[in-house]
Structure formats: C-alpha cells, structure tokens
Amino acid sequence: MDDPAPAPRTDAPAPKTALVVGANGFLAGYLIAALRRHGWRVVRGIRDTGRALRDDERRADLARMTSPHDWRDALQGVDAVVNAAGILRESGAQTFQTIHVDGPLALARACVEAGVPRFVQLSALGEPADGGFIASKHRFDEELLRLPLSAVALRPSVVYAASGSYGGTSLLRALAAFPGRQLLPGDGRWPLQPVAAEDLGEIAARAAAGAQRGVYEIGGPRPLSLREYQTTWRRWLRIDGERAVFFPESLVSLQVAIGERLGRGPVGETMWRMLRRGNVTRPDAHARVQADFGHAPADLAAALAATPSQVQDRWQAQLYFLAPSLRVAIVALWLISAAAGWLTPATTIEALAAGSPLAAWQPVALARVTGGLDAVLALALLCNWRPRLMLGLMGLSVLAYTLAFGVLLPAQWLDPLGGLAKNLVVLPALAVAWVLADRR
C-alpha cells in the first residue's frame, strides 16, 4: 500500500502587510507593484469614496484624520507604512499643512503607539524657499525623523514613467513631442536628475523591509539639462527633428502665474521655481542610495530603451494640447448655438418649421429653451464641472436634434453650409472629448 502523500507545510511565514497611503495616485501604483514583487501584502489607503471599502482598502483621509486615534483601525495588522500622498495645489480642506504635515504626523504617531515597525515617506527634492509644497514636505520629514520610529524619507527628482505620465511630466513629454520642433521653456539649460517610477518603487519596497534611517535624495546617475531630457524623450517617441523653439522665461512665468490664480495647469509656481533652480541631488547621493539599498535609478536613455515606445505613446503626447483645444471648440460651438436659439427672429424660426410637423410644437419656444440648455452645458463644461456628464448630455442632445430634424426637416441634410451633416463630425468629436476628459 502506498504511503500517504505528505501533508503540506504550514510553517511558512505569512507575508508582511504594507499600508500605502495615497494609493490612488500616479506614483503609488508603481510602489504597490514593487511591494507585491517583494512578497508584501498591500492594503490601499484611500480617501472616502462614498462606497463600501474593498477587502484590500483602508480609510486614509489625511485632511480629516489628524489625530493618532483616527488611524487605529487603518493600522490593524500593518507591518510598514508607505506614505505616497501629496497635493500640488491647495483646495479647500486640502492644504499643504493638512495633507503634508498634520495628517501624516498623526499617522506616524499612531505607528509609534501601535508598534508598527517601519515608515517610508515619499517626499520631494527641492528647496523650501521654492514654495509651500516643498516646505511642507520637508517640514514633515524633520518631524518624522524625530519620532522613536524606524523611518526613512525618500526625496526624488523629477519622476517619469514610460508607461504613463502625470502633471508636469505629461507637459514635458508633450513639449518634446510637438510636431516640427520641440518646445522648450527658457533656454533649456536647467539641470535635473530624472528618476524612473519603477526605480523609485523598487527603492521604496527595499526601504519598507530595511532599517535605513534618514533622508535620501533620489536621482539618476548624472544631471541632464532640460533640453537633453526633452530630446531623449523625442527620440524615444520616434519623432524626427531635434531643433527647438525657445519660449522666453518671462512668458512662461506669466502663464504659470495665471494658471496658479485659476487653480489649473500642470505646472504651479513651486514646480516652476524648482525647475529654474535646478532639481539635482548632492554629488554622492546616487552612490549612497546604491550602497544602502542595493539599487539606484538608471540613466534615462537606458530606462527608456528597456521599454520601446508604441504609437499609443505618441498619441498620448501629441493629444496633450489637442484635448483642451477640442474642449474650447466645443464650448464655443455650444455658446454660438445658444446665441442662435435666443437671437434668431421668431419669424425666421416659424418660416423654417412651416409645412412640417414641427410647426405644431411651438418652434420659437423650443428654440429659446434649447438655446438655454446649450448655454448651461457650455458654461458647466467651461468650469470643468463633471465634464464627462456634460459631454455625454451634449452628445445625447446632438443625437436627439439630428434624429428629430433629420426626420421632420429632411431638407436640412442638403443644406449647402452643412446643416445636419456637420453633426456626423460633431458626434465622434464629442466622444473623443469624453474619452480625453479622464486626465491626471
């Protein structure tokens, strides 16, 4: 009789658990992927979403959870915390002091009380004089390292990813991919030390399992000028031509200032100051990271060479400026349509509807009401209020107009200026704008 199969071993250690705060952010995805590669179980710390939390999610609202007591439930069973939360601009309760200092400090103190052995802070490279973003990040780094807690603060230079981009890095990629010639702010000589998001994730994962302490500046093996950085991206995107158009620094500063006042735009005043100052690490920083973590960021060209670009990458880069242009055009078209509905004389509207079923539908009142609807949709989209909903409603209204007038006033299809036929272009344009509304 055969011997029974040996029972499976049950003495394998359970995987450690890491709480990643700010888990819905761009960089957090790379941190989470690296932690999982290293065998961690990851729970995602997110703000309230209005829905029940999933099994791998914990409530982590830095704007509201400003007491150590608030974090007790989130830290249950956690062996390490990785804080990747951050904001580039203040808005309402989302202030630099709250999101970068008060909330994380309450979390770190809760780690001390709960006995969570490790804290990894994702900070930023720069000078506090550059603005509130950097100053608040560094203020928390200092407070964190005073606590009786095994902690490390990682301060990366400009972070990029071949598989995607966010904020200022999206803008830089779009400038590099501009047709004809790349666009450069200033003289293009400002230095930076770009870091691949994958490398930053790998270092953070090693830090979560390590015992290093203090501040580490994270950058590539050598500084690159902004023009070198842009040219490398242009080559990677396989776009011909390395000539550049240089925009005066004063003009860029004006655009940044306007965007800052409006609370829009990928580059705020802090980022602009950081870029002009030069975003580089200390001379020994790269070697120190390699020595202490056994891994350091690769050179930009080498990192990009490992991930060849595809046509979708060129689409993403070259649609960057087309997306807002398309939205502006849609808003303008809807405002013109609203004006036409309000200002077209009643006799003209009645003459157009004469002899058709529309004549019995009070066409003048219908024109005035639909003109008001067009204005509301246009202004809501202009203010960026629920843009996908507004674009969806615009698409439904155009479809309704096209079907109704196409059946009731079929002569409009043959209008020499386009008439209803133009809607065959407007409808897919709205669909494209709906897709492009998902921007980060």
DSSP state letters, 294-337: S--PPPHHHHHHTS---HHHHHHHHHHHHHHHHHHHHHHHHHHH
How far is C-alpha 106 from the geometric centre of its chain's CA atoms?
Answer: 26
**Count of all residues that appear for the chain in the document:** 440
Q: Where are the alpha helices (DSSP H) in 38-189?
A: 96, 103-114, 132-146, 168-176
The answer, yes or no, to whether residue 417 has pLDDT greater than 80, is no
Predicted confidence band of residue 265 (pLDDT cuts 50, 70, 90): confident
- Given this model, what pLDDT does residue 440 score? 63
The answer, yes or no, to whether residue 4 has pLDDT greater than 70, is no
What residues contact residue 421 under an 8 Å CB cut-off, 6+ apart? 413, 415
What residues contact residue 381 under an 8 Å CB cut-off, 6+ apart? 327, 330, 331, 334, 387, 390, 391, 394
Instruction: Tell me the pairing of strands 182-185 and 244-247.
Output: parallel
- Closest listed residue to residue 246, CA positions, set 172, 168, 183, 173: 183
In the chain, pLDDT over 90 holds for what percent of residues? 74
- Closest listed residue to residue 167, CA positions, set 277, 85, 87, 61: 87
- Backbone Cα Rg of the chain: 27
- Given this model, what pLDDT does residue 5 score? 52
Tell me the average pLDDT across 216-237: 97
What residues contact residue 394 under an 8 Å CB cut-off, 6+ apart? 330, 334, 377, 381, 430
DSSP 208-258: HTS---EEEEE--SS-EEHHHHHHHHHHHTT-----EEEEPHHHHHHHHHH
pLDDT tens-digit readout, 423-434: 999 999 999 999
Distance CA 184, CA 227 (A): 7
Predicted confidence band of residue 1 (pLDDT cuts 50, 70, 90): very low
- Written as six digits, the tokens of 249 are 């620094």
pLDDT tens-digit readout, 309-350: 999 999 999 999 999 999 999 999 999 999 999 999 999 988
Higher pLDDT, 72 or 8: 72
Query: How many helices and strands, by DSSP H and E, does the chain display?
Result: 16, 13
Coil vs helix vs strand at 77: coil
Higher pLDDT, 161 or 355: 161
pLDDT tens-digit readout, 362-386: 889 989 999 999 999 999 999 999 9
Minimum mean pLDDT range among 8-12, 277-281, 409-413: 8-12
- Given this model, what pLDDT does residue 336 score? 96
- Written as six digits, the tokens of 159 are 């972070």
Tell me the average pLDDT across 275-296: 96
- Given this model, what pLDDT does residue 307 score? 93
| H or E element at residue 378 | helix 363-382
- Written as six digits, the tokens of 189 are 């000589």
- Given this model, what pLDDT does residue 263 score? 75
The answer, yes or no, to whether residue 10 has pLDDT greater than 70, is no
Q: How far apart are the first and last CA of the chain?
A: 65
DSSP 13-45: PPPPEEEEETTTSHHHHHHHHHHHHTT-EEEEE
What is the number of other CB atoms lying within 10 angstroms of the CB of residue 216? 20
What is the largest distance, in Å, between two alpha-carbon atoms of the chain? 101
- Written as six digits, the tokens of 239 are 């776009």
What residues contact residue 91 under an 8 Å CB cut-off, 6+ apart? 263
Predicted confidence band of residue 407 (pLDDT cuts 50, 70, 90): confident
Higher pLDDT, 262 or 418: 262
Instruction: Tell me the pairing of strands 57-59 and 41-46.
Output: parallel
- Written as six digits, the tokens of 247 are 């925009």
- Given this model, what pLDDT does residue 218 score? 98
Q: Where are the alpha helices (DSSP H) in 41-118?
A: 96, 103-114
Give the dihedral sign, CA 398/401/405/408: positive
| H or E element at residue 420 | none
Question: Chain-wide mean pLDDT for the chain?
Answer: 92
- Given this model, what pLDDT does residue 363 score? 86
- Given this model, what pLDDT does residue 2 score? 47
What is the number of other CB atoms lying within 10 angstroms of the CB of residue 414? 9
Tell me the average pLDDT across 156-169: 89
- Written as six digits, the tokens of 438 are 């998902």
Distance CA 172, CA 190 (A): 13
